[in-house]
Structure 1
Amino acid sequence: MSQSFMKGALIITLASLISKLLGSLFRIPLQNIAGDEVFGIFSIVYPVYMAVLILSVAGIPLAVSKLISEARINGGENHIRDIHRTGSILACSFGISAFLVILLIAAPFASLLGGEFAEISLIVVSASLLIAPYMAVYRGYFQGFQEMGPTAFSQVLEQFVRVFFILLFAYILVQQGYSASVVAGGVMTGSIFGALASFIYLRRKFVTSPLRPEADRKYSFRDFKKWTKTILYLSLPICVGALAMALVNFIDSVTVPGQLGAGGAEDLDIAAQYGYYGRGLTLVQIVVVFAQALILPLIPLLSASLKEKDDEKTSLITEQALKFMHVAAWPAAIGLFVLTVPLNFVLFGDTQANEVLAVVHLSAAATSFAVLTTGILQGMNKQILSAGIVLGASLVKIVLNIILIRYFGLIGVAWSTFIVYILLSVWNLWVMKRTISFRLFGNREGRAVAAAVLMGVSLYIPLLWTAPETWGRSMALMFTVLLIAGGGILYGVFLLLLKAVSKEELKNIPVIGPKISRLYR
């Protein structure tokens, strides 16, 4: 179990890391090419698209994954075929419906997002809904067989194609002198091309795969009705639970422009200020990749272990996932927080809104745990309760945005995000603890946090006597890269010195793990 879990988690983590690196880091050249106004429009509109995509269909692939995992135990080829086909029909139907709704309300909804500048981008990016839902069901199908390779490759392919066209159209349209709203709309076409490339690959993989079901009877409307009820029962709460991060970003897109506008900001000034906030989210999303990557193999694993009534296995999977997140999230959040000023200068060319970025960076750990624990609850068949928790936290987010932005300005958004993700994490962990027996502490988590803090202090010391933001960007980049590399090495050393990771856990790390484990006495 442990090796299978680690292998699946490693494959999807590496692919998701590459995908998220592309999906986050491309924002840096986008901001440098097109400016803060275009970057701000992108940061406002894209969370809306992601929220609609998740609400429309994201629960369906996860439900397909869960049901196929169970059907492999006591179902059969017919059930597997029926689940996949029903999921595909539902995903396409919801995707087309969502596209038509956005098309009809694009103008008034753009006004809600701060102004007419968002309308073109909304219409263009919503066209991805015609392709992405159907494509995502194929990912869920392979995940149900614990085959993470197709999902991993398709994610990377989608992001490569998407990023290429985003930057290509950004450069061409800026050179042609188009307005910020037109450039932002052109940039959004990258999502269409990315989804199409991923769909073509997954469809071809499915057709030639030995995992393709060989049913011995025809698929009927009766089968569609039967599995539609089952899939919707599972997917509706799952999709709300999967909204954990996307829903918070969606709420920001809807509430922040209005509050900034009430404070006297003009349309494109609102977009620019939102772009500053989006800078912080760019790097946080890379940290969250570890949580999102773990969710994919976790849900079918937890579902299978619960169905087998193997409490020990369920507890072990949960503890492994939480330990992995402690080791990965804390150093990333603390490192981003300490290096906020040089990173802002190196990546975006100035030091605007450093305080806002620092708070957003610090929230990376809470965000990661919120996303991971939400996924664990889904795997524990607590989809409805998980959805209720996410909705409750979202209401808190709306209230905090209105109050904190009114009194503190843009940094109020960052603080509300930080508070809400802490609330989500604590709430989820409380429910998990009441559901199954597992160690919340006692697996050397405190040592991992201590190692991260020591690493952060070590990174901060050189910044007491230097000011990279006053240098040229090239010199500052070299200095910052050296600090990041040094921080990573120091964190590894502190982990070993404090024995935050056991010898057995080290051995599971591919290639270097067995060698490092020999350092333990």
Structure 2
Amino acid sequence: MSNIVRGTMLLTGASFLSKFLGMIYVIPFNSLVGATGGTLFAYAYTPYNIFISLSTVGVPLAVSKFVAKYNAVGDYETGMRMFRTGMALMIGTGVLAFFAMFFSADWLAAQMITSQDAKSITSADVAFVIKMVSFALILIPAMSIVRGFFQGHHSMGPTAISQIMEQIVRIAFILGGSFVIVSVLNGSVIAAVGFSTFSAFLGAVASCFVLWVYWRKRQPYIQRQLQQQIYTHDLRTRDMLAELFRYAGPFILVGLATPVYQLIDQFTFERAMVASNQEDIWAFAYSAMNFYGHKLVIIPVTLATGLSLAILPEMTKSFTQKNSVFLEKQINQALQIIMFLILPAAVGLSILSKEAYGTLFGIDNIQISGQLLAWYAPVALVFGLFTVSSSILQSINQQRFAVISLSAGVLVKLLFNIQLIYVFGAKGAIFGTALAAGIAVILNLWRISTAIQFSYKQLMKRTILIGIFIAIMCLIIILLRFLLYLVVPEGRFGMSIVLTVCVVAGGMVYLGLAYYSTLMERVLGRRIGFLDKLFRR
């Protein structure tokens, strides 16, 4: 438990950097393609993410677990056989997923977009960008298997470096290509977004090259392991695959939740907005909510869930050894980290929603985008809680229940999304996601409590203390914002000044209160060395 921060950096550093880059690049991307481009981009990537999950079905992480298991007993040949089998399987599913997505693009687009107004986004535009992004499916599943194999050998470098390189190359082609098409060639936004989605394939090529370099470098070491091996389990291919899919099942669930909710929005949002006579703003509202706004909301979720998930291996060990005292402590810590980090970030982003959106993406229609971000920011908490609670269920051997909770959430989103959008406008989609994910979280937490008789008393007590600190932080932010607007200039530059000052001041107040009250070290499980030196404690 004392090495939690170090473990977090190893397990989530590359993922967080990748997500951060994914948030930063949309600022110039927004300047090039605007709200229409953002909506088109989101319409391509949501089904793409689902096809990725379905084509890999959790196999890469399962291969990692499988290889690590047999390597631990010196059976390297079985791990290598699994790698070859998994590679063949992923090449096949990747190609099938590509054909399925490419040739279903027209049908999917026709179901998502009902209006054919040439001034707005048409189904032909959506079909085009879906087809362009589908090419990445040819490479991604097989590439993920290689990453899983390296992780099974406790080598995180290839995954981390290839992941970052993939993102850098993808972003470079997105921004470079969009700039050339829009600003140099005076091309259409549709063409720019189409090339931008195709950049997923180019990023995958770069990632494959990095992994090939690592493979060439590590191959002599792998060969020595195989030559020194004495015993092999000699499993049949059928038995290997059966064991692999037992591991793979739970891994697919957590990653599917958010894309599925967004996919439901894609099938319902435009038609509900048109039906409620809001067709003029639907494209802008969708991009502000599910593309640009989502990029901001997901950053604290990534960091907080990374910290929490770093505890899970020890949690699984405690459950296996029937050490209920340590297990309860670890579950408490995982959930408290979510509350400690995401709750203040979500509340702060909600209060400063206009400033955050205006600073990063411009002040056009800021009343609409700011309001949507203000409502969407708190949903970060349920996203984080769902991810961690589903993983806790996996660690206590209750992973099947995660299927039930996710299905319940999806059913609620399906049943109520159109009605909520019709009644509340664009923010109705946010209410639908919050309701669906919230129900899934409640079910997960209930199952954890009943399965191992877990008590939430400590979590509730510390959440109340966190709430008090957040209230003080909010008062400081609101007061500062009021005073700053008396002197700063209007517009985007003024908003950036207000955002910077309020974020720094609010963050220092909250972290200072958490530090001096010892809440921080109790939640994270250790003292924070650089803060001790800074405050001479």
| TM-score, length-scaled by structure 2 | 0.87
SS of the aligned residue for 2:39 comes to: helix
Asked if the contact 1:238/1:387 (under 8 Å) is kept, the reply is no
Instruction: Give the 5 Å matches for 1:83-482.
Output: 83-114=82-113, 115-175=123-183, 176-209=185-218, 212=222, 214-215=225-226, 223-264=236-277, 270-277=282-289, 278-294=291-307, 297=310, 300-350=313-363, 351-353=366-368, 354-436=370-452, 438=454, 440-442=456-458, 444-467=462-485, 471-482=490-501
Contact 1:247 1:394 in 2 (8 A): yes
Q: Is the 8 A contact 2:64 2:151 kept in 1?
A: yes
Q: What is the Cα deviation at residue 8 of structure 1? A: 2.2
Give the match's secondary structure for 2:392. Answer: helix
Any idea what the Cα deviations from partners look like across 1:483-507, whole Å, max 9, x if unmatched?
A: 1111221111110243312369474
In the alignment, residue 334 of structure 1 is paired with which amino acid? V
When residues 382 and 309 of structure 1 are mapped into structure 2, their CA distance, relative to the original with a 3 A threshold, is same
Q: List runs of 5+ in structure 2 lacking aligned partners.
A: 114-122
- Counterpart AA for 2:376: V
Identity of aligned residues (%): 26
Other-structure match for 2:19: 20
Specify whether residues 191 and 90 from structure 1 end up closer, same or farther in structure 2 by C-alpha distance, changes over 3 A only. Answer: same
Unaligned stretches of 5+ residues in structure 1: none
The amino acid across from 2:105 in the alignment is A
CA displacement at 1:413 relative to structure 2: 0.7
| Cα 1:88–1:310 shift into 2, 3 Å | farther
Tell me whether 1:483 sits opposite 2:495 in the alignment: no
Letter in 1 for 2:509: L
Structure 1 stretch displaced more, 129-138 or 435-444: 435-444
Tell me by how many angstroms 1:22 deviates: 0.9
* Contact persistence 1:166–1:187 (CA under 8 A): yes
Cα 1:435–1:146 change in 2 (3 A) is: farther
**Count of matched residue pairs:** 516
In the alignment, is residue 512 of structure 1 matched against residue 521 of structure 2? Answer: no
The separation in 1 between residues aligned to 2:68 and 2:324, in whole angstroms, is 18
Mean Cα deviation higher: 40-49 or 220-229: 220-229
- 1:295 is displaced (CA, Å) by 7.0
The answer to whether the Cα contact below 8 Å between 2:308 and 2:338 also exists between their aligned partners in 1 is no
Amino acid at match of 1:361: A
Shift of 1:439: 5.2
Match of 2:519 in 1: 500
Contact 2:112 2:267 in 1 (8 A): yes
Q: 1:513 to 1:317 in 2, by over 3 A?
A: farther
TM-score (norm 1): 0.89
Alpha-carbon distance between aligned partners in 2 of 1:159 and 1:413, rounded to the nearest angstrom: 29
1 CA distance for matches of 2:353 and 2:419?
A: 26
Q: Deviations over 1:18-46 (max 9, x none)?
A: 11111123222211111111111112221
Is the Cα contact below 8 Å between 1:507 and 1:517 reproduced in 2?
Answer: no
Identify if the C-alpha distance between structure 1 residues 192 and 325 changes in structure 2 by more than 3 Å, giving closer, same or farther. Answer: same
Give a deviation string over 1:240-262, Cα, whole Å, max 9, x none.
33212222122222222232243
| 2:169–2:206 Cα contact (<8 Å) kept | yes
Aligned in 2, Cα 1:220/1:337: closer, same or farther, shift over 3 Å? same
- Is the Cα–Cα contact under 8 Å of residues 396 and 420 in structure 1 kept in the other structure? yes
CA distance in structure 2 between the partners assigned to 1:240 and 1:342 by the alignment: 35
| Distance across 1 between alignment mates of 2:127 and 2:345 | 36
- The 1:173/1:441 distance shift into structure 2, 3 A limit, reads farther
- Paired position in structure 1 for 2:61: 62
CA contact (8 A) 1:290 1:325 kept: no
User: SS state of the match for residue 434, structure 2?
Assistant: helix
| Shift in Å, 1:190 | 2.0
Q: Letter of the aligned partner of 1:172 in structure 2?
A: V
Please say if residues 276 and 352 of structure 1, whose CA atoms lie closer than 8 Å, have aligned partners that are also in contact.
no
The separation in 2 between residues aligned to 1:270 and 1:212, in whole angstroms, is: 54
Query: For residues 339 and 7 of structure 1, do their structure 2 counterparts lie closer, same or farther at Cα, with a shift above 3 Å needed?
Result: same
Superposed CA offset, 1:171-213 (max 9, x none): 1111223233222111112211222222222333244348747
CA contact (8 A) 2:70 2:78 kept: yes
Segment drifting more, 189-198 vs 205-214 = 205-214
- Larger deviation: 125-134 or 57-66? 57-66
Q: Which moved more, 1:442-451 or 1:349-358?
A: 442-451
Contact kept in structure 2, 1:132 and 1:196, CA below 8 Å:
no
Q: Residues 238 and 378 of structure 1 are in contact (CA less than 8 Å); yes or no, is this contact kept in structure 2?
A: no
Report the CA distance between 1:460 and its aligned residue: 1.6
The alpha-carbon distance between structure 1 residues 250 and 337, as it changes in their structure 2 partners (threshold 3 A), is same
The verdict on how the C-alpha distance between 1:465 and 1:415 changes in structure 2, with shifts beyond 3 A counting, is farther
Q: State the Cα distance separating 1:478 from its structure 2 match.
A: 2.5
Residue 70 to residue 388, structure 1, CA distance change in 2 (3 Å):
farther
Please report how far the alpha carbon of residue 465 of structure 1 lies from its aligned counterpart in structure 2 after TM superposition: 4.3
SS of the counterpart of 2:456?
coil
* In structure 2, distance between residues paired with 1:406 and 1:104: 32
Secondary structure of the residue that 2:377 maps to in structure 1? helix
